[in-house]
Amino acid sequence: MQTHTVTTPFGRRSMTLGMIASQVTAQTAPEGATVHKWHVFRDIKEARMALGATDRALAILDALLSFHPETAFYGDSALIVWPSNEQLIGRANGMSPATLRRHLANLVDCGLVVRRDSPNGKRYARKGQGGEIEQAYGFDLSPIVARAVEFKELAEAVRAEKKAYKVVKERLTICRRDIAKMIETGIEEGVPGNWGTVHVEYQAIISRLPRTAPRQVLEEVAAELDDLWTQIRDVLESFVKSQNLNANESQTERHIQNSNTESKTESERGLGIKREASGSAGETDNLRSLPKRELPLGIVLDACPNLLWLVKDGGGIRNWRDFLATTDLARPVLGISPSAWEDAKVAMGEQQAAITLAAIYQRTDQIKSPGGYLRNLTERAKEGKFSTWPMIMALLRAKLDAAKAVGAGVTEAEGELGAAQRLDRTQKRLEVSDNLRKSIDKWDHKA
């Protein structure tokens, strides 16, 4: 049996109050307590960060536990092991002596083991006549029993925190995906709203996310995104309910705006989505006479074919998302500053600003300062005096006139039939209806 409990370290190592506290804790194991050493070691690994233990220190603790022959530890049993440094290095994957000493100190500081140093600093056990250990010097593993309940609670808390972190990360990912796609849907389906402003608000929220963020920060950002998600969804649902959907494709129009400017849902006011200039109460008489719907993408592309030059790999523009991405490429080509572009999207809406940019790009040889021109149109949009319809109508009129001039000026060598076919193909590609042609003629006369 042991005759004396050593409390001070050998050599130059100083004594600390933390060591005394660890030794006191090691002696307070519940009477009759029994633990499975590897189960407790698993809890210690889970709670490693909370305990302040290093991964190398846990490798050494694993080796120390393996030197004790019993799997079950009892509160009233001798739990001291006395392996040499060479033996520990062999079971700790061959780490260097200096590394071993440093991480042994870490185990002691964390209160996972207690030093029981001999008078000369060596580790050994003195046995009696019957082979019973009378005194042992080495590392006391009593904290494994005394703090087993604490280790288990810490491990459960760490596991709960990891689960909560994973849940909020999943919630954040789904919310970001939903918001991005709902904004895209609102733009492509022509839902009335200043979607540029909404997108700027969304970007402002997610820009606060650092590369590695604690769960509390993620919870705050997720809560803001949830609120934005709810408002966008309410706007989309209100728009869907306000439409009389028709299954007949020939009668379906995807870009209808409600011309009743006084009817605004609460969700639209809460989100800050405002109707475009073409539908506001402060429109001029000319703007009031324009169609109360969005410009179809096909007509915009026919009026602004130069934009297709920027499409990579010769691909086309199949939807509004492709159109918006292509106008983002055109902006630096025109020398328009990011601030001017952002102001235009806020004032006009992202889709209307993109159409305006495409029209400017089509007339780049006629506009000396695209940036200044866009800022001027932005100011007009803020006053409710701007619409993209006249710009597109003017470009279509110019294209039709050019096509007719080409058809009239074809030489006899080329043949009148070939010219007629080219003119016919051009007019079919434009797909201009009688009403649209009348609108073009009307705006042409007004200009």
- Determine the pLDDT at residue 221: 92
Residue 184 to residue 191: CA distance in whole angstroms? 10
Residue 222 to residue 176: CA distance in whole angstroms? 9
The full set of domain ranges for the chain reads 17-146, 160-242, 276-446
For 27-42, what is each residue's pLDDT tens digit?
A: 666 667 788 989 999 9
Question: What is the rounded end-to-end Cα distance, in angstroms, of the chain?
Answer: 110
- Determine the pLDDT at residue 224: 92
- Determine the pLDDT at residue 243: 72
For 321-358, what is each residue's pLDDT tens digit?
A: 889 988 988 888 888 998 999 999 999 999 999 999 99
Q: Which residues of the chain have pLDDT under 50?
A: 1-4, 6, 244-286, 288-289, 291, 410-416, 418-433, 447
Q: What is the pTM of this model?
A: 0.46
283 in Cβ contact with 244 (< 8 Å): no
Tokens of 175: 């919310």
User: What is the three-class DSSP state of 36?
Assistant: strand
How do beta strands 114-116 and 133-140 pair? antiparallel
Which of 371, 298, 366 minimizes the C-alpha distance to 331?
371
Q: Please provide the DSSP assignment of 344-408 as one string.
A: HHHHH-HHHHHHHHHHHHHTTTT-S-HHHHHHHHHHHHHTT---HHHHHHHHHHHHHHHHHHHHH
- Determine the pLDDT at residue 392: 87
